[in-house]
Amino acid sequence: MIVPVKKFTAVTLADNARKLIDTLGRLGVIQLKKLDESEFVGFKEIVSEEAKEYENLYEKLNSLKNKLNASLKKPETIEFTKIKPSLEELKSSIEAFEKRIVELEEKIKSVKEQLKTLNESKPILQILKNQKINPGDIGEFKHIFAKAGIAKTKLLPSLMLRLKPRKEITFREAAVSPEETFLYITGLIELKDWIEKLLTTVEFKEFKLPLGIPNEINEAIKWVEEEIKKYEDELKTLEEKWASLKQEFEEKAGYLEVVVRYGLDVCLAEGNLLRSRMMVVLQGWVPINKIEVLNSYLDGFNKMVGGSVFYVYDDPLPGEDVPTVMENPKLFKVYEVLTRQYGYPSHEETDPTIVSTILWITMFGIMFPDFGQGLIILGLGLIFGFVLKRNIMGLNFAKLGKLMIGLGLSAMFFGLLAGEFFLLEVKPLWPGLIPGWVKTSSNVVWLIKIAIFFGIAQIILALTLSIKNYLKAKDWLEALLGEKGLAGLLTFIGIVFIAFHFLGITVIPGLISFPELKMNVLKHWSLALTIIGVLGIALKPILAREGATMSLGALIETLISSLANMLSYARIAGFCIAHAAFALVVAELMHANPALGIGLGLIFLNLFSLTLELMVVMIQALRLLYYEFSTKFFKGTGKPYTPYKISINLNNAIKH
What are 25-48's pLDDT values in tens digits?
A: 888 899 999 888 888 888 888 777
| Number of CB atoms found within 10 A of residue 20's CB | 23
- From the list 315, 277, 271, 318, the residue with the least C-alpha distance to 43 is 277
Whether 536 maps to a domain, the answer reads yes
Claim to verify: residue 306 and residue 380 sit in the same structural domain: no
For residue 204, give its domain range: 113-231
Task: Judge residue 519's burial from the number of C-beta atoms within 10 Å of its C-beta, 0-12 exposed, 13-18 middle, 19 or more buried.
Answer: exposed
Claim to verify: residue 484 and residue 580 sit in the same structural domain: yes
The total domain count for the chain is 3
Which pLDDT does position 258 carry in this prediction?
A: 85
Residues 244-266: what's their mean pLDDT?
Answer: 87
Which pLDDT does position 104 carry in this prediction?
A: 93
Claim to verify: residue 500 and residue 577 sit in the same structural domain: yes
Which pLDDT does position 19 carry in this prediction?
A: 86
Whether 100 maps to a domain, the answer reads no
Residues 444-462: what's their mean pLDDT?
Answer: 93
Whether 401 maps to a domain, the answer reads yes
CB 275, CB 14: distance < 8 Å: yes
446 phi, psi to nearest 5 deg: -60, -40
Whether 301 maps to a domain, the answer reads yes
CB 479, CB 467: distance < 8 Å: yes
- At 83, the pLDDT band (50, 70, 90 cuts) reads low
Burial 133-156 (b: 16+ CB within 10 A, else e): bbbebbeeeeebbbbbbbbebeeb
Find all residues with CB under 8 Å of 145, minimum gap 6, and list them. 139, 186, 187, 188, 189, 192, 195
CA 236 vs CA 115, 172, 229, 241: distances in Å: 12, 41, 11, 9
Claim to verify: residue 63 and residue 138 sit in the same structural domain: no
Between 271 and 222, where is the model more confident? Answer: 222
Q: Is the pLDDT of residue 470 over 80?
A: yes
Claim to verify: residue 438 and residue 571 sit in the same structural domain: yes
Find all residues with CB under 8 Å of 656, minimum gap 6, and list them. 80
pLDDT tens digits for range 506-538: 777 767 777 878 888 888 888 888 899 888 888
Claim to verify: residue 304 and residue 282 sit in the same structural domain: yes
Between 168 and 573, where is the model more confident? Answer: 573
Claim to verify: residue 602 and residue 560 sit in the same structural domain: yes
Claim to verify: residue 378 and residue 470 sit in the same structural domain: yes
| Number of CB atoms found within 10 A of residue 568's CB | 19
Claim to verify: residue 297 and residue 354 sit in the same structural domain: no
Whether 161 maps to a domain, the answer reads yes
Between 587 and 579, where is the model more confident? Answer: 579
Q: Which amino acid is at 561?
A: S
- At 654, the pLDDT band (50, 70, 90 cuts) reads very low
How large a percentage of the chain has pLDDT more than 90? 42
Instruction: Choose the weakest-confidence range: 23-37, 140-154, 441-455, 593-607.
Output: 593-607
Q: How far is the C-alpha of 34 from the C-alpha of 272, rounded, in Å?
A: 5
Claim to verify: residue 531 and residue 435 sit in the same structural domain: yes
Q: Is the pLDDT of residue 597 over 50?
A: yes
CA 568 vs CA 301, 316, 455, 622, 635: distances in Å: 59, 40, 8, 13, 21
Residues 442-463: what's their mean pLDDT?
Answer: 93
Residues 609-627: what's their mean pLDDT?
Answer: 92
C-beta contacts of 218-225 below 8 A and 24+ residues apart: 218/129, 220/125, 220/134, 220/135, 221/122, 221/125, 221/126, 221/129, 224/118, 224/121, 224/122, 224/125
- Which DSSP string do the residues of 283-342 spell out, in sequence order? EEEEEGGGHHHHHHHHHHHHHHTTS--EEEEEPPPTT----BEE---HHHHTTHHHHHHH
Claim to verify: residue 383 and residue 483 sit in the same structural domain: yes
Which pLDDT does position 263 carry in this prediction?
A: 85
Please identify, among 231, 261, 279, the residue that sits at the C-terminal boundary of a domain: 231
Q: How far is the C-alpha of 478 from the C-alpha of 494, rounded, in Å?
A: 19
Claim to verify: residue 309 and residue 334 sit in the same structural domain: no
Whether 396 maps to a domain, the answer reads yes
Q: How far is the C-alpha of 132 from the C-alpha of 126, rounded, in Å?
A: 10
Which pLDDT does position 235 carry in this prediction?
A: 93
Q: Is the pLDDT of residue 238 over 90?
A: yes
Cross-strand partners of 146: 139, 186
Q: How far is the C-alpha of 1 from the C-alpha of 381, rounded, in Å?
A: 25
Q: How far is the C-alpha of 320 from the C-alpha of 644, rounded, in Å?
A: 19
Residues 172-192: what's their mean pLDDT?
Answer: 90
134 phi, psi to nearest 5 deg: -90, 150
Whether 211 maps to a domain, the answer reads yes
Which pLDDT does position 395 carry in this prediction?
A: 67
- From the list 125, 30, 93, the residue with the least C-alpha distance to 253 is 93
Whether 253 maps to a domain, the answer reads yes
| SS3 of residue 545 by DSSP | coil
| Number of CB atoms found within 10 A of residue 351's CB | 22
* Mean pLDDT comparison of 191-205, 326-340, 365-379, highest-scoring range: 365-379
Which pLDDT does position 655 carry in this prediction?
A: 37
